[in-house]
Amino acid sequence: MADLDLVRGTLDLLILKTLSWGPMHGLAVLRWIEQTTRDQLQIEEGALYPALHRMEQKDWLEAEWGYTDQGRKAKFYRLTPAGRRHLTAELSRWARYTSAIGLVITARQGPAGATG
């Protein structure tokens, strides 16, 4: 189930994309990712928080304490306009990255004519 280790640096991308749906607290981000990847992605949960705080420092996120629907106190994060712009840039970079990898992986010919 959880057999894909997360490549470093993509955690930021995941968080940003998750938050693009709306403000959430850290646990909510995690749950949504689990839900969407059907638990296939293994994230060490604590790593979320350095990432969140770092992105808040860079002003990609804004944080505010609030109450959940159940009345519990939680820290909510949301995207700033700068964060939104960064997300767009990262998404396109990801697309280029994966397509480049795809080119290598789906190649029909190896070097010097060897076929595999």
Partner 1 sequence: MSHAGSDRDARASGGGRWAGFRRVFRLPVTRARLSAELEDEFRFHLEGRIEDLMRRESLTRSAAEHEARRRFGDLSDYRQQVSVIDDTTFSRRARMELFDVIRREVGQALRTLWRTPAFTAIAFVTLALGIGATAAIFTVLDSVVLQPLPYKNADRLVAIVHPANVPGTGESKWGMSAGGYFAFLKGNRTLDDLGGFTTDAMTLTGQAGDAEQVQVGAVTASVFSAIGARAARGRLITAADDRPGSPQTVVLSYELWQRRFSGDASIVGSVIQTSQGPRQVIGIAEPGLGLPMPGPFASREDLAAFAVDVWEPLKLNPAGPFYNSHQYTGIARLKPGMTAEAAQADLSRIMAGFPAAMPTVYSTDFMKSFHFRVAVTPLKEAVLGPAVARSLWIMFAAVGLVLLIACANVANLFLVRLESRRRESAIRGALGAGKAQMALHYLAESLTLSLVAGVAGLIIARWAVPAIMAVAPRSLPRFSSIHFGWAAAVLGIGIAVLAGLVFGLLPAFRASVDVEALRDGGRGQTGSRGQRVTRDVLVVAQVSLAVVLLAGAGLLLRSFERLRSVQPGLDPNGVLTFQVNLPFERYGQETVSEDFHRQLSARIAALPGVTAVGADDALPLRDLAGGCTAVWPPREPGQGGKGACVATPIFLPDFFKAMGIQVRGRVPTWSDVNGRTQASVITKSLGERLWPGQDPIGKEINIGDRIVKGKAYKIVGVIPELRASGLDQPPTEAIFSPVTSLDTLPRRTGSMLSLVYTIRTTRADPVSLVPTIRQILSSMDRQVPLVNPMPMSTVVARSMARTSFIMVLLILASVMALLLSAVGMYGVISYVVTQQRPEIGIRMALGAQVTEVGKMVMARSVKLAVAGALLGVLFAVLTTRLMVSLLYDVSPNDPVVLVLVPLVLIAVAVVASLAPAWRAAKIDPVEAMRV
Rank residues 22 and 102 by Cβ distance to partner 1 and give the closer one.
Answer: 22
Q: For partner 1, which is the closer residue by CB, 31 or 96?
A: 31
Residue selected from 3, 8, 57, 116 as contacting partner 1 according to rule CB under 8 A = 57
Give 40 or 68: the residue with its C-beta nearer to partner 1.
68
Residue 17 binding partner 1, by CB under 8 A: no
Say whether residue 44 binds partner 1 (CB under 8 A).
yes
| Region of residue 9 (left: phi > 0; alpha: psi -120 to 50; beta: else) | left
Q: Does 70 bind partner 1 (CB under 8 A)?
A: yes
Q: Compute the 3-state secondary structure of the chain and give helix, strand, coil in percent, each to the nearest 5.
A: 55, 20, 30
